[in-house]
Structure 1
Amino acid sequence: MSLLKNVGTIGGLTAVSRVFGFVRDILIARVLGATAMGDAWQLAFMLPNIFRRLFAEGAFASAFVPLFNRRMKEDGDVSEARMFAENVLAVLLPVLILFGAVAMIAMPWVVEFFAPEGLATDADALAIAVFMGRVTFPYLLFMSVATLIAAVLNSLSRFAAAAAAPILLNICLIAALAYGLTMGEDPAARWTAAQAMAWALSLSGLLQVIWLYSFMRRAGFSLALVAPKITGGVKELGLLVVPAIFGAGVYQISRFVDLFFLSTLEVGSYTYLAMADRWNQLPLGIIGIALGTAILPALSRFLSREEADEAARLQSNAIELAMLLTVPCAVALFFTGTAFVQAFMVGQNFTAEDAIVTGSVVSALVLGLPAYVLVKVLTPNFFARKDTRTPVVTAAISLVVTIGLNIVLVPRIGVVGLAIAGAVGAWINIALLGAILHARGYYRLPARVAGRVLRIGLAAAAMGAALWFLMPEIADWFSQGLLDKAAGIAAIMATGIATYGLAAMLLGVLDRATIGRLMRRQG
């Protein structure tokens, strides 16, 4: 299947999930608001998800897929690959159970350390935050198992089930929020809604495991529970996973840094960052994760067959497609973030003032959006070669820069400083990854692709200029009624699409040859 079709399958289903997630966050903003309870829920939600994205989606999948693919025989024999996956699962389960038990015991100290001052000084709110943290943490166990199954499915070129699985998460949380809405708007109702969401989160993890396992069985692949044993393959995976935690998970590591700095800010800061990140995650999840997921198995196969030219072609196509889709999203959100937050999230416990702060964070976050996506696109080139040490070095350097900027910016401009620091760190990471790929001859950006990326930037800049002139004229619409908000969104969409489309056409950003390259089968 072609890169464009693979990304379309993954990205399309991810888009459905993001729409559900968007509805979920609108409800969270309105039910919980930027309050102590809202921050307590965000902290309880972030802790297992940071570990999930760091260990499971990032490091584990990046290390597991090349090793699994290497054991897949061209004649269709999957016995060696199945044995490898079973041995990994047998070791993974007790490690996750032990880690989860320790985390749940330590939860009072973890929550107190990361809680903002307004939450940390409220004994009742802190107790509920600890309870929710314990209830949500089993989600890490379920989702780590789900990630292993998803990695197997992706290696078998069955992308749809894994891409659709997060929809179950959002359905469960929306159901819990709907229950919370029936409880009224007083503080006690907010506690009830947040606790219902905590139980729904862990339930959704179990449902995703069942969902993915059923699709794996349909694909003719099954896993049995065997006794834990440190085989050669498990040991090799372990040696790759530890450094890959840093290489593929720099974005998630930075979130831990964010938690520490957020704990120094006023109540509501967790909610502001979480709501802003929803807008950033829409293109990041749909484009970045889809591209990274789609190219890793193909890169692994090309490199195992010593087809360096095909691997380079795939990498070029991924970069070009990433920038074609991401740069205009980043530019548009930079100018319109506050307007969209006002249109969709203001209401009940989320005020117009909350929307202005959140919109500022959106504009800062999207400065790094293309870089966050490129991290997903470039790191598979290292992981496919079983080179996990290099991303450790680049991630460490970018993280040091991010922390340094946080120390300078957060006391001065608050939560917006966190977003700016993360964006700068991501761009430094990309610069280092690209330079090392070039120096080692793993991949050198062709002049044709560099020129096309430049033209994409120029087309997006033209769109940004048009939106810059438009927004002051329609800014008041987003604080009015439903029809005014709809008219404002329509004006933004029409202006953005028309100007970017016209500029892209005049600059030759897209042509028949480009579409042909992206549609070509990836091997």
Structure 2
Amino acid sequence: MAGLFRSTATIGSMTLISRILGFVRDMVLARVFGAGMATDAFFVAFKLPNFFRRMFGEGAFATAFVPIFTEYREHRSEHELRGLLAAVSGVLATVVAGVTLLGVLGAPYLVWVLAPGFGDQPEKLALTADLLRITFPYLFFISLVALAGGVLNTFSRFAAPAFTPVLLNVAMIVAAAVAAPYFAQPITALAWGVLAGGVLQFLFQWPFLRRIGMALWPRFRPGHAGVRRIVRLMGPSMLSVSVAQISILIDTILASLLAGGSVSYLYYADRLVQFPLGLFGIALGTAILPTLSRLVSNGRSQEYATTLDQALRTILTIGIPATAGLVLLGYPIIATLFQYGEFGAHATVRTYQALAAYAAGLVGFIGVKVLAPAYYAQQDTRTPVRVAVWALTANILLNLALIGPLAHAGLALATSLASFLNAGLLLRVLMARGLFRPEPGWALHLGKVTLSVAVMALTAWLVTPPQEVWDRASAWMRALNLFLVVGITGLTYLVAAWLLNVDGVRRVPRLLAVRLFDGGRGGR
């Protein structure tokens, strides 16, 4: 578990840099473009290549590729390992290039499907199609980036892949803050920034691949035995990831039918939820897949179950206070980060409504990120598909039930509720198959975390200024107040959890110290 923690900490620290720059990026976007027609068009145009990225990139592809690549590394020769990588990269590049070309040529039709609410606004529809033609080639480069990241993660080189998204944020910040005024339609600069970010990410990872002797030299060999195995695993995995992404696309379609700005409110709220999800949930999920794959490959089933148990406990330790923090401090966070220029108080209120709804599902979101790799490590990609279909069906029904009374916030809440169903079913099947049994102490652990969060919530209520203070305060005063409030609230939780001996909290400083001293001696 210490090794998994160190891997998660490495990924999390790099992700922290990326997420901070992501907030800077979104602050620039909010200040320069606000929440209106242009941003709605861009977020739709950016969402579609992201959808396919999840299918061909770090989502479905990684879940199928990493277990097979790990198996080859553990039990085959280096020549066979290089051959597998060459064949996989060749097939992946060819397929994604074809999809990219179709996406560029069919951009107007894709927009009609993705955002039918734009149909009665010809200018908005045309702008979205133009932006999509620019952003879609991002898919080609980010798919190769995902392949490179999977290789590096298998070799326990977690830092470079986790740092790579920083380059996308930098490219988009430069595009919005520097290049936008030079374009007839300023938002177009942002689309070019996305494409530039994809190229930079690929170029950044190349030297790290060469350092471990795994540079990508593609060969189109679809008949390679390893490629066929990956494709067989990837088929159901693509369906699984597609179900999750289809849920997001449905939210976008429905949001396009609501009042202007609704797509943007959901985007900004999702970005804030992605901070703890990426910093911890995705980091843990990324680290645990190669770890569990190695344990399965070597027949160490008890260690597999213990590792999963500890990971799930840690989800509660981090996820519950993160949920409470986003709900209690969401308005101050949004006001501090975004409420400037074109982004007014009305947009802050609407974004907070979506944020509170998304935050309610944070533990479920993180749970899926950890539980799904437990199946992928077993080379079972079919079960997550079946579970995801049930979750998607529930999400659609909840969307239809909640969009009326809650508008865009109802879409966010439906997604959150469906995430708990997804995680719960994944956990239930693992237990039914005997692959996981909760170790003793779960009820006590949950009680300790809940009590610590209650103390934290009371502290947040006492020290947080009222809403009107945040609306009137200057940018620097907002930032200072937010720093103090978040710092005091977070420290309160940590102290309470320390005193209650919440599982894992007291172990963190010791593991960090070991990591630090190992690093000082050169490590291993």
TM bucket normalised to smaller: over 0.9
Are the aligned partners of 1:61 and 1:148 in contact in 2 as well (CA < 8 Å)?
A: yes
Q: 1:390 aligns with which of 383, 392, 399?
A: 383
Pair 1:45-2:46 in alignment:
yes
Are the aligned partners of 1:331 and 1:461 in contact in 2 as well (CA < 8 Å)?
A: no
* Shift of residue 518, structure 1, vs aligned partner: 6.9
Partner of 2:253: 260
> Which whole-Å CA distance do the structure 1 matches of 2:341 and 2:436 have between them?
52
Structure 1 runs of 4+ aligned residues shifted over 6 Å read 516-521
1:18-417 equivalences under 5 Å are 18-73=19-74, 77-115=77-115, 117=117, 119-180=118-179, 182=181, 192-248=185-241, 250-417=243-410
> Which whole-Å CA distance do the structure 2 matches of 1:88 and 1:156 have between them?
17
The AA in structure 1 aligned to 2:315 is A
* Shift of residue 497, structure 1, vs aligned partner: 2.3
Q: 1:516 to 1:40 in 2, by over 3 A?
A: closer
Are the aligned partners of 1:474 and 1:488 in contact in 2 as well (CA < 8 Å)?
A: no
Encode CA deviations 1:326-376: one digit per residue, 9 max, x unaligned: 221111101111121111201111111000100111111010011111111
Q: 1:54 to 1:410 in 2, by over 3 A?
A: farther
| Local SS of the residue matching 1:179 | helix
> Which whole-Å CA distance do the structure 2 matches of 1:200 and 1:155 have between them?
30
* The 10-residue stretch of structure 1 (466-475 or 386-395) with the greater mean CA deviation from structure 2: 466-475
Partner of 1:186: none
* Shift of residue 102, structure 1, vs aligned partner: 1.6
| Local SS of the residue matching 2:217 | coil
| Local SS of the residue matching 1:57 | coil
Encode CA deviations 1:410-438: one digit per residue, 9 max, x unaligned: 12211100110000000011111111111
* The 10-residue stretch of structure 1 (323-332 or 441-450) with the greater mean CA deviation from structure 2: 441-450
Encode CA deviations 1:446-475: one digit per residue, 9 max, x unaligned: 122453234223312331233235446465
* Shift of residue 80, structure 1, vs aligned partner: 1.5
| Local SS of the residue matching 2:361 | helix
> Which whole-Å CA distance do the structure 2 matches of 1:477 and 1:351 have between them?
12
Partner of 1:15: 16
* The 10-residue stretch of structure 1 (486-495 or 289-298) with the greater mean CA deviation from structure 2: 486-495
Are the aligned partners of 2:60 and 2:238 in contact in 1 as well (CA < 8 Å)?
A: yes
> Which whole-Å CA distance do the structure 2 matches of 1:254 and 1:490 have between them?
35
Are the aligned partners of 1:375 and 1:430 in contact in 2 as well (CA < 8 Å)?
A: yes
> Which whole-Å CA distance do the structure 1 matches of 2:476 and 2:163 have between them?
32
Q: How many residues align?
A: 514
* The 10-residue stretch of structure 1 (301-310 or 471-480) with the greater mean CA deviation from structure 2: 471-480
Instruction: Note the residue ranges of structure 2 that are not aligned, 5 or more in a row.
Output: 516-523
> Which whole-Å CA distance do the structure 1 matches of 2:136 and 2:113 have between them?
17
> Which whole-Å CA distance do the structure 1 matches of 2:150 and 2:491 have between them?
39
Encode CA deviations 1:152-173: one digit per residue, 9 max, x unaligned: 1110111111001101101100
Q: 1:460 aligns with which of 453, 459, 466?
A: 453
Q: 1:463 to 1:442 in 2, by over 3 A?
A: same
> Which whole-Å CA distance do the structure 1 matches of 2:401 and 2:453 have between them?
31
* The 10-residue stretch of structure 1 (385-394 or 419-428) with the greater mean CA deviation from structure 2: 385-394
| Local SS of the residue matching 2:327 | helix
> Which whole-Å CA distance do the structure 2 matches of 1:473 and 1:174 have between them?
31
> Which whole-Å CA distance do the structure 2 matches of 1:273 and 1:102 have between them?
28
> Which whole-Å CA distance do the structure 2 matches of 1:255 and 1:346 have between them?
25
* The 10-residue stretch of structure 1 (81-90 or 64-73) with the greater mean CA deviation from structure 2: 81-90
* Shift of residue 515, structure 1, vs aligned partner: 4.5
Q: 1:299 to 1:271 in 2, by over 3 A?
A: same
Pair 1:506-2:499 in alignment:
yes
Q: 1:197 to 1:486 in 2, by over 3 A?
A: closer
Q: 1:91 to 1:483 in 2, by over 3 A?
A: closer
Encode CA deviations 1:41-62: one digit per residue, 9 max, x unaligned: 1111111112212431111101
Q: 1:282 to 1:398 in 2, by over 3 A?
A: same
Encode CA deviations 1:118-159: one digit per residue, 9 max, x unaligned: x43332332221111011001111111111111011101111
* Shift of residue 225, structure 1, vs aligned partner: 2.3
| Local SS of the residue matching 1:38 | helix
Encode CA deviations 1:83-105: one digit per residue, 9 max, x unaligned: 11211111112211111122222
* Shift of residue 116, structure 1, vs aligned partner: 6.2
* Shift of residue 399, structure 1, vs aligned partner: 0.8
Partner of 1:488: 481
Identity %: 35
> Which whole-Å CA distance do the structure 2 matches of 1:417 and 1:130 have between them?
27
> Which whole-Å CA distance do the structure 2 matches of 1:112 and 1:249 have between them?
19
Instruction: Note the residue ranges of structure 1 that are not aligned, 5 or more in a row.
Output: 184-188
> Which whole-Å CA distance do the structure 2 matches of 1:511 and 1:104 have between them?
48
Q: Could you say what the CA RMSD is over the residues aligned between the two structures, in angstroms?
A: 2.3
The AA in structure 2 aligned to 1:364 is A
The AA in structure 1 aligned to 2:105 is I
The AA in structure 2 aligned to 1:127 is A
* The 10-residue stretch of structure 1 (25-34 or 48-57) with the greater mean CA deviation from structure 2: 48-57
* Shift of residue 78, structure 1, vs aligned partner: 2.1
